[in-house]
Structure 1
């Protein structure tokens, strides 16, 4: 027996401000009952010997030392820039007055 009744669906529809006719209420009651029963079946399969997981593969961060490598000089970086000013790229303004 499902834990979802037609009255539950009527109440949820009212809370969500969703108007439903009798046919829609009956259909939704059946669909929600199937969902609740499916979740209950999965819950029964997980026993105390089955660890809870959030991801099927263990995740670990791959970190490396943050080391400064070879970098460009400001002149090299700006060599092919269409426009530059005081060692900075110069671009058209996109906001007025800011």
Structure 2
């Protein structure tokens, strides 16, 4: 905010899980992928180009009145975290009982 009147804008991009080789190697079974996808309202992993387009928007004059913004490109993950139904697997820590 200190430099906003100088035309310097500072924004951040908050990406969600992207369909990259690294993540897909980690989520190497359909069960693992489904366990992660249940939390994504859009029901899919993002593509790197979608985050790049968000960066392009923030770097363009189309966002000239934006500063101090956390720009979420996450398929709705942070706005609507979905928790699956089912029994709790782990008991609470003994120190809390």
TM range (shorter): under 0.3
Normalised to the residue count of structure 1, the TM-score between the two structures is 0.24
Identify the structure with the greater strand proportion: 2
Larger gyration radius, structure 1 or structure 2: 1
Normalised to the residue count of structure 2, the TM-score between the two structures is 0.25
